[in-house]
Amino acid sequence: MASILETRGLTMQFGGVTAVDNVDFSLERHELRCLIGPNGAGKSTFFKCLTGQLKPSAGHVFIENEETTGWDPHAIARLGIGIKTQVPSVMDGLSVRENIWLAAYRTHGRERARRFADDAIDRLSLGDIASATVGRLSHGERQRVELGIVISMEPWLILLDEPAAGMTGEEVARMAELIGELNAEAAIVVVEHDMQFIRSIAKTVTVFNQGRILAQDDVDTIMTDPRVRDVYLGKKV
């Protein structure tokens, strides 16, 4: 199967630190891939090189065979890629509906924005708080609004950096469910720390360590891989 997202020799250096070290990565259409690894392994830096938040020091990124190395995040999003970074992109002074409508408007135009926004609000069960000002919401609710913004654009590829961070157990479970639903229509890459969350959503897992891919396999194999346990320094995986 042809890959829709690929890196070749991707490298990112910060001064003397090689955060991402010559990484070859490949994602197929409709895949759901989780990226894990201990603190400082290079996951976020790798993610940022994919999304255009960082320009890699060396190597290449290809999206559907088009080289996107060094493109800025807007240009990458315009390819139909939904990106949720660790930095919130919601506008606190606007309501949930306004935030999502605005994102849908930018992608689909005025005529169709309302339908896409309504659909995203529905799918994320945001109806009860659709009129609430985003700045007043809980952290978990804001994360859901961010995902609403992403899905209102109808992406075919979704890149999520720590979507479950700071959520309650119930919210994490709902987020896992949502990701499963979204994966019916889009390929998804998820960078995440929460192992329970990973277990509940993952199919194939890529493990980073010291800027490189240490292991890549189905979730059960990864969770019992002694090399993976080792790099987590005895932490229960």
Residues 79 and 68 sit within 8 Å (Cβ to Cβ): yes
Per DSSP, 72 falls in state: -
**Binding residue (CB under 6 A) for ligand ATP from 2, 16, 39, 65:** 39
Count of residues for the chain?
Answer: 237
Burial of 224 (0-12, 13-18, 19+ CB in 10 A): exposed
Of 17 and 75, the one with the shorter C-beta distance to ligand ATP is 17
Piece in contact with ligand ATP (CB under 6 A), picked from 40-48, 114-122, 124-132, 141-149: 40-48
**Binding residue (CB under 6 A) for ligand ATP from 7, 21, 43, 141:** 43
Of residues 6-25, which lie at the interface with ligand ATP (CB under 6 A)? 14, 17, 19
Piece in contact with ligand ATP (CB under 6 A), picked from 33-41, 102-110, 136-144, 180-188: 33-41
How many residues line the site for ligand ATP (CB under 6 A)? 12
41 is a site residue for ligand ATP (CB under 6 A): yes
- Beta 66-67 vs 58-63: how paired, if at all? antiparallel
84 is a site residue for ligand ATP (CB under 6 A): no
56 is a site residue for ligand ATP (CB under 6 A): no
Quick one: residue 93, left, alpha or beta (phi over 0 = left, psi -120 to 50 = alpha)? alpha
Query: What is the distance in angstroms between the CA of the first residue and the CA of the last residue of the chain?
Result: 31
Closest distance of CB 231 from ligand ATP, Å: 11
**Binding residue (CB under 6 A) for ligand ATP from 40, 73, 80, 140:** 40
Q: How distant is the alpha carbon of residue 86 from its chain centre?
A: 9
